[in-house]
Structure 1
């Protein structure tokens, strides 16, 4: 318990991000276990490719008329950082995930199945732009798919 209290007390807000209430950080919060080996990381063009995909994804979702309202007032800097961490962790790129659980991070957003579908379409477009092979895209999406149960509220 003392270790948890110390960890929570040491949490800092990265530059450019809004402060959030402390929470227990864990790779388990990423919503999926990482791939083994380096093939998937290579298919996504390493950490630089992951960064480009996450940046492209955020640009797309905040402009996507189907889901843009969900992201109004959200901390875009934090969203970009956490997506990069999450994707890097899942693709076995040597990153740690510092975000909340999927359920906690998406609570009260009122997400519906159609919203998740739109986000996945935007992610697919970002992966295509990065020229990630179709089979690698599908393997990655299969890792992400179970998260839908945790984020859809209605």
Structure 2
């Protein structure tokens, strides 16, 4: 079951990977999944998301399955876009300023295996940051449909 959830998470994580163009509709990055900010708080609010994404990037760079996608990328920008994306989805009151998922991933040649590896790495980062399992599942489920725009090979 964790593996299935990981596949969902990958969509979330890699979504803003190389985003840079401002002002995309929030619905284009994933739906807001909470009526209030309780899920956002379960992730530790803004500071928690920053810690999560920092750890996530370290894990992605250490993973030979994802390393090549991130080593030469603008890592600080990717982390900022991920924090924004997760914050929007978790109803944290943020605005996503990056490109859409399809546009930002079109030229990366991401296949299903790399996507699944990214999801696994996101779950490792969430576990490391003590994000409750139910909160992880909700985020991963919201992000999962993005695989259609991210996986191109």
Scaled to the shorter chain, the TM-score interval is 0.7 to 0.9
Rounded to whole Å, the distance in 2 between the matches of 1:95 and 1:85 is 6
Structure 1 distance, partners of 2:101, 2:135, is: 23
Q: Is 1:63–2:62 an aligned residue pair?
A: yes
Quote how far apart the aligned CAs of 1:31 are: 3.1
**1:9-48 mapped onto 2 (5 Å cutoff):** 24-48=23-47
Do the aligned residues in 1 keep the contact of 2:29 with 2:100 (CA within 8 Å)?
yes
Cα deviation per residue 1:123-146 (whole Å; 9 max; x = unaligned)? Answer: 111111111111111111000100
> Could you say what secondary structure the match of 1:97 adopts?
coil
TM-score, length of structure 1 as denominator length: 0.81
1:134 corresponds to? 133
Partner of 1:52: 51
Contact 1:29–1:97 (CA under 8 A) maintained in structure 2: no
For residues 108 and 21 of structure 2, the distance between their equivalents in structure 1, rounded to whole angstroms, comes to 19
Q: Quick check: 1:113 aligned with 2:112?
A: yes
- Alpha-carbon distance, 1:80 to partner: 0.7
User: What's the CA shift string for 1:89-141, capped at 9, x where partnerless?
Assistant: 11111110011000001111000111111111111111111111111111110
Which entry has the higher C-alpha Rg, 1 or 2?
A: 1
Give the TM-score normalised by structure 2. Answer: 0.81
Shift of 1:24: 4.8
Which runs of 5 or more structure 2 residues have no equivalent in the other structure? Answer: 1-18
Residues 18-57 of structure 1, C-alpha deviations (whole Å, 9 max, x = no match): xx98565332332333422122112111111111111111
Q: Distance in 2 between matches of 1:42 and 1:21?
A: 27
Q: 1:87 to 1:21 in 2, by over 3 A?
A: closer
Does the residue aligned with 1:56 lie in a helix, a strand or coil? helix
Task: Tell me which residue corresponds to 1:100.
Answer: 99
